[in-house]
DNA sequence: CAAGTGACAATAA
DNA sequence: TTTATTGCCACTT
């Protein structure tokens, strides 16, 4: 039931198609409030279901992945994104102009 | 109830 | 372009 905002986030990120990424602000907006970006990151931090919640598909508004707080490591993040078909820059950045979901 | 904190975002300098 | 500050909303203490 989970009428909380929490599950709403998981539902949204799960909606992200493979090979695409969404920013915290986008996820927050899909949740109903564009200002909840921080809470989105918080929800991902809780990440009760690793593997089910593609947190690696959620990136900053500038296209940078969450390096430093990644579930397994930024290397894994980059690998996962590349595995999905997303090209990650050497600086762990993604071209939102191409991979931004919902665009 | 009030203050502090936080996987952010947008704007200003 | 990068760095700094402010705003936002929810949760914790």
SS (H, E, C) chain A: CCCCHHHHHHHHHHHCCCCCEEEHHHHHHHHCCCCCHHHHHHHHHHCCCECCECHHHEECCCCECCCCCCCCCHHHHHHHHHHHCCCECCCCEECHHHHECCC
| pLDDT tens column, A29-63 | 999 899 999 999 999 988 767 667 889 999 999 99
Between A33 and A3, name the one with better pLDDT. A33
Domain annotation covers residue A102 = no
The pTM for the full model equals 0.91
Q: What is the pLDDT of residue A71?
A: 80
- Distance, angstroms, CA A2 to C1' C1? 43
Number of domains composing chain A: 1
| pLDDT tens column, A56-98 | 999 999 999 988 888 878 888 899 999 999 999 999 999 999 9
Evaluate if the CB of A60 falls below 7 Å from strand B: yes
Bases of chain C within 7 A of a CB of the protein: 7-11
Find the CATH number of the domain harbouring A37: 1.10.10.10
Residue A71, domain extent:
3-97
């Amino acid at each position: 039931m989970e009428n909380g905002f929490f599950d709403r986030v998981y539902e949204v990120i799960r909606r992200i198609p493979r090979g695409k990424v969404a920013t915290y602000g986008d996820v927050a907006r899909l949740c109903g409030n564009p200002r909840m970006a921080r809470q989105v990151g918080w929800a991902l931090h809780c990440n009760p279901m690793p593997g089910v919640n593609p947190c690696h598909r959620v990136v900053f508004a500038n296209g940078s992945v969450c390096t430093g707080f990644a579930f397994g490591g930024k290397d894994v993040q980059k690998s996962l994104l590349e595995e999905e078909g997303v090209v990650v820059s050497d600086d762990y950045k993604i071209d939102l102009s191409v991979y931004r979901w919902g665009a």
